[in-house]
Amino acid sequence: MKQLQFLFYFFVILTVTLYSQDAITGTWELIYVDPQTMSDTDPRGITNFKIHFTNRGKVFNLMPDEKLTENSHSADYTYEDKKLTILDGDNEPYIIYVTFPDSLKMMFNSESGTRIFRRLLGENAASQIIEPKSLQLVRTDKTVNHDNYEIKYDTTDYSSLPLFKRLTGTWETIEYREVPQGEMPPYGFFNDIWVFTEKTIMVQNRAGSDTVQISYLPGKEEIFVTAGNQSLDAWKVSFNKWGHMVIDISGGKVLLKLITKETASIPEIPLKVVLLKMKGEG
């Protein structure tokens, strides 16, 4: 009888352990980060990285455009009773408390706030190339949480339109690239709003209340901008596979994401620190 009881309890413990492991095993995409005060934000922004848990106690962090390979860096992990412990070499163990609102959503809860992940489906989910996103919200007087933060973007394919018609609309800054060393603002760059009409560009500076308006003429793969001193500058314009507009300006590149083709009014969106790559960082 005692042997039967032991086997029963052993089976129960094993079942619970396997269930806990199964809950977290797989690939997840970061989709939300709690707003932080300006001084606590990451000046390089936070992207929607992927985190992959194997059923053998290994965890991998992967960038949105990164595939899982045998050379990908991994750490060890344990997961039990809602407690995830990351063991990475000689570093101190990192403990995160985890909850699962449903089978497709995972929440990390720590002193710095909540992070929400969604499960990526498919056999090779860890190697899926996903659209890079900017997630670092800034805490302001206007309450933003994971129930009301999401921005609705226009994801229509406008690639068949001529350049000036493709440009027209209201765009959000999502990333800066190739910024010269030493030119990063103390808290990074913000998600400024760019409004393109047929002849003008209006840029709403999220770091202050000023708005800049300039005139432009569209070319084939560039726009000719009249600066404040009336000199004419050529900005190369292209679009990546996600439909993001990439503007090559002297001193770096700005990536914009289309919110709406409407230009009459600027939609109210939460303040974010956008992604940033300095010159030479690829």
Q: What is the CATH number of the domain that holds 185?
A: 2.40.128.280
Domain that holds residue 36: 2-137
175-186 confidence digits (pLDDT tens) = 999 888 888 888
User: Are the C-beta atoms of 77 and 86 separated by less than 8 Å?
Assistant: yes
In the block, tokens 């000199």 appear at: 231
Please say if the pLDDT value at position 262 is more than 50: yes
Please say if the pLDDT value at position 9 is more than 50: no
238-248 confidence digits (pLDDT tens) = 999 999 999 99
Eight-state DSSP code of residue 70: T
Q: Which residues of 68-95 are buried (b: 16+ CB within 10 A; e: fewer)?
A: beeeeeeeebebeeeebebeeeeeeeee
- The mean predicted confidence, pLDDT, of the chain is 86
Torsion of CA 179, 183, 184, 185, to 10 degrees: -140
Residue-level pLDDT at 148: 62
**Based on the structure, what is the number of domains in the chain?**
2
Residue 90, domain CATH: 2.40.128
Assess if residue 101 is contained within a domain. yes
Assess if residue 152 is contained within a domain. no
Domain end marker among 101, 119, 137: 137
Going 70 to 275 to 27 to 95, the CA torsion angle's sign is positive
The answer to whether residues 122 and 172 belong to one domain is no
Neighbours of 256 (CB within 10 A): 24
134-164 confidence digits (pLDDT tens) = 999 998 876 666 666 778 999 999 999 999 8
Assess if residue 147 is contained within a domain. no
Eight-state DSSP code of residue 36: B
74-121 confidence digits (pLDDT tens) = 999 999 989 999 988 777 888 899 999 998 999 998 877 899 999 999
CA of 231: how far to CAs of 181, 214, 215, in Å? 26, 11, 11
207-260 confidence digits (pLDDT tens) = 777 788 889 998 888 899 886 666 788 999 999 999 999 999 877 899 999 999
The answer to whether residues 130 and 201 belong to one domain is no
Report the amino acid identity of residue 187: Y
